[in-house]
Structure 1
């Protein structure tokens, strides 16, 4: 299973909460509000005595830097159990803490585990009234929640979509002197007429190619993290393509055919994926039109030009 490594802090905390709620039951998880004087070193805790503190390193590709940041996070927050012991004891209301868990998107370096667990033993030695005598501080990551992640995916509640926009270099590579670029150039030339400025055709071509690449990125993210949404998107796109091939466009004017196909695709996706970001639906729709131009379900014969 591919694990997403790069997260914004708030985004990771929200997703981590979903994972913990799936594991322990939402009714057994208490969020600790942080608007007033912070979260006292706990972002949420369970009725069985697990304290969770979430952290997403800003540097996700450098293993050493990520490990250093994780150790520093535990070094800042574990001592808060001592500093805020009066507040925490009131929050727990009799619940005894047996685990303080640093929950990160990934865990690459065993030195993090050793460092955090050692700090946990130091806290245990303080004999705090709200901790059990077996208190420990382990580190967990998404690898420890694979079953919960699969459950969320089945409910289309997987990780938030992070769809990378194609770079200018990627568009250039795909749209330059390639079969894809030549095919779209020819179709757009027929669609907008032989007198259309060459620069305009190239600009349109690049936008269609960019949309196609963006669509592929979006569908890959849906397939990996939101299986139900991906299936709906796939079925919708297939149905619209089958309709286009069987019935064709109602207009014989190429520009109107493009707009009509775009409108139908956007409307169909809006009905099938109402919770998806509208801007992303538009990109998927435009990318689908580009895919049709590349593979030929949508074409503009010379005889259609006026």
Structure 2
């Protein structure tokens, strides 16, 4: 499936893509406001002959529903693009459109490509004065703007939310079965962190930390494959924090819960500063992954003092 599911709605998608387009083209990009008698079938165009339209279908949708909605979007807007010849000529000036590009969060069906080519062929045969002879319809996702995305996210102009895949209970059980030593570390530290909790609550806390770890690892995998700059910054920040964490926790006179909370608070600040382009939800997932990882291993440990138990 090219692309990723977008959860913030069509209007936010349009704003996001327009921001990317302006970063990509600078003054060579011309936005067409849609408040005044429609948008002519495109959000804007660049002087190199590329015209752009954005569309984010509401979720959840089946593959068939998604294909039909994206197909209908192409049909409607290409009709506008044809019918508004006079208005477009006044806006385009000497520019002729060679590519009409629909930017979507994701798409799933090759039938959409067939439909796009059918519409493009119709336009090529119409000999429209605002269209180049080599006219094509493209379907693109966010990766089309990989460079621009890194630029705007890197300075916090846009906030990105990345949701990892859902964790199954079996994944948690498998982790426990395959990592006895790490789980024993975690259980020992939970006794120090929450000595007065019931056995049931301690077991729940263990499961939560393991889920945070698996969830965060899935998220890091997504960052590594799609947003490598964010992945590099996240790993660097975590490694820098871990470098002195064991020493700090060993010499602290605070209670284990206070050490844990202080570490989490400071690391949240550090990660938020390093990853300004990520939403708080995504930052928190990465923070809890690190905290769980440090508990499972031994960078974050506590003095085993009877006074704390």
Q: Is the aligned partner of 1:26 residue 2:26?
A: yes
| SS of equivalent to 2:112 | helix
**Matched length:** 300
RCO greater where, 1 or 2, for CA within 8 Å and sep 6 or more? 2
Which of residues 268, 271, 275 is equivalent to 1:269?
A: 271
Q: SS state of the match for residue 114, structure 2?
A: helix
Could you tell me which runs of 5 or more consecutive residues in structure 2 were left unpaired when the two chains were aligned.
none
2:218 counterpart of 1:217: yes
Tell me by how many angstroms 1:41 deviates: 0.8
Q: Quickly say closer, same or farther: Cα 1:277–1:6, change in 2 above 3 A.
A: closer
Partners in 2 of 1:93 and 1:292 — Cα distance? 61
Matches for 1:165-244 after TM superposition, within 5 Å? 166-167=166-167, 169=169, 172-173=172-173, 179=180, 180-193=182-195, 195-244=196-245
Q: Does the Cα contact within 8 Å between 1:252 and 1:304 map onto a contact in 2?
A: no
Secondary structure of 1:99's aligned partner = strand
Cα deviation, residue 269, structure 1: 2.0
Cα separation, 1, equivalents of 2:127 and 2:298: 72
Partner of 1:78: 78
Q: Distance in 2 between matches of 1:144 and 1:215?
A: 22
Which 10-residue stretch deviates more, 75-84 or 60-69? 60-69
Counterpart of 1:40 in structure 2 is 40
Q: TM-score, normalised by structure 1?
A: 0.78
Is contact 1:156–1:229 with CA below 8 Å preserved after alignment? no
Secondary structure in structure 2 of the residue aligned to 1:79: helix
C-alpha contact 1:6 1:56 (8 A) present in aligned 2: no
Kept after mapping to 2: 8 A contact 1:63/1:108: yes
Superposed displacement of residue 38, structure 1: 3.6
Q: Which moved more, 1:53-62 or 1:82-91?
A: 53-62
Q: Distance in 2 between matches of 1:173 and 1:104?
A: 37
- RMSD value over aligned CA atoms? 3.6
Q: Compare 172-181 and 232-241 and name the one that shifted more.
A: 172-181
Match of 1:92 in 2: 92
Bigger drift between 29-38 and 71-80 goes to 29-38
Distance in 2 between residues matched to 1:113 and 1:121, nearest whole Å: 12
Q: CA deviation at 1:286?
A: 2.8
Q: Contact between 1:41 and 1:80, CA under 8 Å: does it hold in 2?
A: yes
